[in-house]
Amino acid sequence: MTTALPTTAAAEPVKAAAANAAAPDLPACVTEFVRRIVPNTAAYGAARETATHIATDLRAELYRDPNTANDHYIAGSVGKLTAIAPIGTVDLLYVLPPKLGITDPDTALKTAWAVLKSKHEGARIADDKSGVLVAAKGLTVRVQPCLPRDGAFLVPSVNGWTLTNPIAEAATLRLADSMYGPRLRMMVAVLKAWRLHNDVPVSAFALELLAQDFYASAPRPHDLTTALADFWAWAKKRTPATLKTPGASTAVTVDAAWHGKAKAAYWRVTLAQSHVVQNKVASACQEWREIVGPLFPISGEKIGVLTVNP
């Protein structure tokens, strides 16, 4: 039985108003860019289904009971609906049966690997000891064998067990949805695209936590371009920092290594705003393309020509 994190309508926070209309201004181009990088409901569904099949393989060997409930959770960006397209990795938390008596992460990893290697060619333990990596249907499923602990889960890491609470993380985002609408998720999507395009030395999860902190710290503009400019300026002052993770005693440490690229993004978006004032929308869009990558449309392009979502 699948025990997945609760889903919300946020899987598709942006709808294209006119699939074949020319992008008339910067906000329309930003909206189209987010539409291009946010996976749709079908993509999320396919990723969850792939991970669920892996869980079924584990259940057949470890529990030997097809009716076992609450044995796995779809976590990470797919579980929280914060992935960007195309989805490449799915995190699967798999709860080990108590009868195995497993207490250390190395044994947990080896147990999961022993089951999966016989069913999935190339299954291997990740170099960072975070899980067992399984390639399936064009995705990588990272299986994290885990132990329940006070409503959260102990998962393997390079430093031993780490406490995580994917249910609390998802609930925190749903609360943000009720307070800010889709704005926070849209910001997270753009920040993840910026991180990948510029090889920014900060984790995607850290950016997600920082974006939540940013919105919680003060009223924020509705316009995403303005909010992102404010975020890059704010985040340089906010970090280095240790960020608490929802529902868990562990924390994420963010250093200053990414400040240079955050500063560069801030100045480019400031230049883009100057172009908008001068009615040079195409030039503004070009600056944003430099910030977040080639999927950002240039004003005048046909919306949809670079669409990556199925």
Which pLDDT does position 160 carry in this prediction?
92
Give 51's pLDDT tier (boundaries 50, 70, 90): very high
Confidence of residue 65 (pLDDT cuts 50, 70, 90): confident
* pLDDT tens per residue across span 239-281: 999 999 999 878 899 999 999 999 999 999 999 999 999 999 9
Name, in order, each residue with C-beta under 8 angstroms of 38's C-beta and a sequence gap of 6 or more: 11, 12, 13, 14, 84, 85, 185, 186, 189, 309
Q: How many CA atoms lie within 13 A of 94 on its CB side?
A: 34
Residue range 180-198, pLDDT digits in tens? 999 999 999 999 999 999 9
139 pairs with which residues across the strands?
A: 136
d(CA 301, CA 207): 30
Question: Is the predicted pLDDT of residue 81 greater than 90, yes or no?
Answer: yes
DSSP 16-58: -S-TTSB--SHHHHHHHHHHHHS--HHHHHHHHHHHHHHHHHH
> Span 23-31, mean pLDDT?
81
Using a cut of 0.75, tell me whether the model's pTM lies above it: yes
225's tokens? 């371009």
